[in-house]
Chain A
Amino acid sequence: MEALDGNAIAGALLAAFGHEMTMASGTCATCGQTNMLAALRVYLRAPGAVARCPVCGEVALVLIEARGVVCVDVRGLAALDYESP
């Protein structure tokens, strides 16, 4: 399956965090590499979006929007940094 990138979930991230997040830095909890969320490999053909680390391929975050609820699982990120608005 072909991966998209973090730009594809920018809207859902905005809904979840209330902030533009594609330029935020995420540190992978598995390999320790830091990438912009725009660079994550994103798979949309799941129940929700699965975003994987572009370096090691492990799941970085899972994001589901359904019936007006946004659910974010960020266990795959050791840190998430962005400039405060």
Chain B
Amino acid sequence: MAQLVDETAQTKSLVLEVPGWAGHRAGQHVDVRLTAEDGYQAQRSYSIASAPEDNYIVLTVERLADGEVSPYLTDVLGPGDPLELRGPIGGYFVWEEELGGPLLLIGGGSGVVPLRSMLRHYFAVGSSIPLRVLYSARSLADVIYREELTRMTEDSGLDIRFTLTRQQPAGWRGYARRIDVPLLAEVAFPSDEDPLVYICGPTAFVEAAAQGLVGLGHDPSKIRTERFGPTGG
């Protein structure tokens, strides 16, 4: 590990230097394996937050209080410490420009992590595919990559909509509720534009977003989903 970056109160980014890394595709993940002195092993999957073009591999890890792996990664592991990885892994929840668009990225909580890799890749390749992002978080303080997303909006015109489901700052002009069909109808590209959609988040969030879009007439085969749950530890 080269560096540890605080993202929010609950999440940190692990910046990793990986010798012999063969490169990855935006949206892929890695398995992190921890081995105790007695040989006990625990393994978890984490999405890669960095783009293929970046110099480092970045994993953004949400600290789960009763987790077996995440507290070690966020609180114990320090710069210079080694980490055992397997990957890159996955071919389904992957975005590449030749897949076309328009492109709609929907993230709930730390489900934004693989979408951040896709966003960085999108801008790195100078894509002109129409793009929209919908990001659901509990509060503004829980928004991961807030500065970077704001910069993408200001510098590159990124069309990103936020919904803050539990707590909103005074004067908040974004959405303030869980994702539902009317919200999706406002944010999503119309189904007749046949957008490609990536949804990542907790299982219930992914189900709500995917079923909502199918109900609005979106082609289920153009909706790619990745669910994670409290078992992520």
Contact = CB atoms under 8 A, between A and B. Distances in A.
Is the A/B pair a real complex? Answer: yes
Interface of A: 2-8, 10-12, 14-15, 20, 22-23, 36, 38-39, 44-45, 65
A7 B231 contact: no
A4 B228 contact: yes
A36 B91 CA distance: 11
Given A2-B229, A2-B231, A10-B89, 12 more contacts: A7-B29, A7-B45, A7-B227, A8-B228, A10-B29, A10-B45, A11-B87, A14-B89, A22-B91, A22-B92, A36-B92, A38-B224
A5 B226 contact: yes
Contacts of B45: 7-8, 10-11
B218 to A, nearest CB: 16
A11 B92 contact: no
Interface string B69-104: 000000000000000001101111100000000000
A11 B89 contact: yes
Interface string B209-233: 0000000000000001111111100
Contacts of A14: 86, 89
A2 B226 CA distance: 13
A10 B203 contact: no
A36 to B, nearest CB: 6
Contacts of B87: 11
Contacts of A4: 203, 227-229, 231
Contacts, number: 64
Nearest to A65: B43
B230 to A, nearest CB: 7
30 contacts: A2-B229, A2-B230, A4-B203, A4-B229, A5-B225, A5-B226, A7-B29, A7-B45, A7-B92, A7-B93, A7-B227, A10-B29, A10-B45, A10-B90, A11-B31, A11-B43, A11-B86, A11-B89, A14-B89, A15-B86, A20-B89, A22-B91, A22-B93, A23-B91, A36-B92, A38-B90, A38-B92, A39-B225, A44-B231, A65-B43
B226 A20 contact: no
Cβ-closest 6 pairs across A and B: A38-B92, A11-B31, A22-B92, A20-B91, A10-B89, A2-B229
Contacts of A5: 225-227
Nearest to B220: A39
A14 B29 CA distance: 12
A23 B92 contact: yes
Nearest to B203: A2
A80 to B, nearest CB: 15
B204 interface: yes
A11 B29 CA distance: 9
A2 B92 contact: no
A37 B118 CA distance: 22
